[in-house]
Amino acid sequence: MGSAPECSLYFEDRGLEPVHAGIFYMNGRFNLDNLTDLTDVFVNDVTLSKNELMPLSFGDHILIARLRLQFEQRYQLFVNA
């Protein structure tokens, strides 16, 4: 995620780096990775260092620059007719 239109999660925020952070699914968990050392990234008020992975749980609060996000789980149901 970042301010570059090429990012999967793109936000128009001058406080974001072009590629600022990433959410990755590894070993059965979602993880947040801080990809820059210019602006702090927080999960539930805990600061992530550059290239530090933080496991995410549903309901976690993420703060990147002025962007506030909440990590949520959504379900989709597909019915074969």
**Domain positions in the chain:** 1-73
Q: How many helices (H) and strands (E) does the chain have?
A: 0, 7
**13 pLDDT above the threshold of 90:** no
pLDDT at 75: 73
**Rounded mean pLDDT, 42-71:** 94
* Whether domain 1-73 has CATH 2.60.200.20: yes
Question: pTM score, two decimals?
Answer: 0.82
Rounded Cα–Cα distance for residues 38 and 27 (Å): 28
